[in-house]
Amino acid sequence: MAAAGPLPPFVLEAEAGGIAVARLARAVHAALAAEPPYHAVKLRSTLGKQLFSGGGARGGISSPAALGALSLADLQELSLGYQKDLQGVYSNGVPLAGVTAMVKRLRELGFEQAATKRKVTVHLYERLGFLSHAITFRRTEDNGLEPTEVRHGKTKLFFATYAAGDARPDFRLKLTGTRQHGAGDAQAASEQQQEISQKLMKVAAGCWLAGSTVVLPPQHRSMFYVDRVRLIDKEVYTGSLLVDGTAVQVAVKVQGVRDERGRYHMEVGATCPQLTDELKRRRPENVQLYTHALLKISRQLQAAC
């Protein structure tokens, strides 16, 4: 099996962090300076499990037995992707027992439940052009749908997985950007974004919920098709952590998700509201401080399991 050259760290030991934090800070500033601009840049941590399979490269990993014998150091030497040593997929699912332990730990840290939300997200593709979109709805008490947001394709700008190395959940830092459609100047991109958003809101206004899936209005089915649906019941816990002598606000979402096939799983993730606000204003003041706060809460939740 041939070793790959130096790569960004896609798998790290849970206690590691310095290299990824520094690279993430650079990735944030690069994303905010990109042209054409990203409409939104977001950073979050998610609990879950990093999974691998053979990537298809000649001489690469080809059997579960060989994969199971790899150490973290081995993984860091491999190339990741299609037709490479390994293919990786990150599962956001967290076992119910783990979620219960995490919520208990949050309360011990002084976090309080701040909000509950019931929403539905439907991911669409255009039949011509294959552009992806997402519509978020508020789910009413009578299972009606009220559209609240439309989004367009996300770009994964940076990610690093922190592996527990045992049965506990891993966690992942992920930076994403949503770019306005159109490669022209900012005004043209903004006008195209507005046009697409208006079209999607018209689609959303006629959607309805049928079991675990969302049905599109008949007049729009020749233009769009439903790819995925997520029915979400979310609880948000908020609190603060002390990082290098500074109190940092952290929000942790705990949500149950049912997909269009009726399959159910739990998810846990964290954000820093202050960083989210600064990224909206495109003026992040201390990315590394907020990143260390996300690492700290993620390790606390991981250790609770």
Q: pLDDT tens for residues 179-205? A: 654 444 455 556 766 777 788 899 999
Give the residues across from 145 on adjacent strands.
Answer: 139
Q: pLDDT tens for residues 59-118? A: 555 555 555 666 767 766 777 666 777 777 889 999 999 999 999 999 999 999 999 999
Task: Delimit the domains of the chain by residue range.
Answer: 11-304
Determine the pLDDT at residue 178.
82
Count CA atoms within 13 Å of residue 233 on its CB side.
7
How much is the average pLDDT of 126-134?
83
CB-count burial class (<10 Å; 0-12, 13-18, 19+) for 235: middle
Q: pLDDT tens for residues 233-282? A: 999 999 999 999 999 999 999 999 999 999 999 999 999 999 999 999 88
> Among 223, 35, 34, which residue's Cα sits nearest to residue 131?
223
Give the Cα separation of 170 and 176 in Å (integer). 19
Radius of gyration of the chain (CA): 20
Least reliable range by pLDDT among 2-6, 160-164, 165-169, 294-298: 2-6
Angle at 179 between CA 193 and CA 148, to 5 degrees: 60
CA 16 vs CA 2, 162, 247, 296: distances in Å? 26, 8, 22, 11
Distance from CA of residue 44 to its chain's centroid?
7
Does pLDDT of 163 surpass 80?
yes
Determine phi and psi for 70, rounding to 5 degrees: -80, 140
Query: Quick check: bond before 147 cis, omega within 30?
Result: no
**Domain 11-304 listed as CATH 3.20.100.10:** yes
CB-count burial class (<10 Å; 0-12, 13-18, 19+) for 176: middle
Determine the pLDDT at residue 262.
94
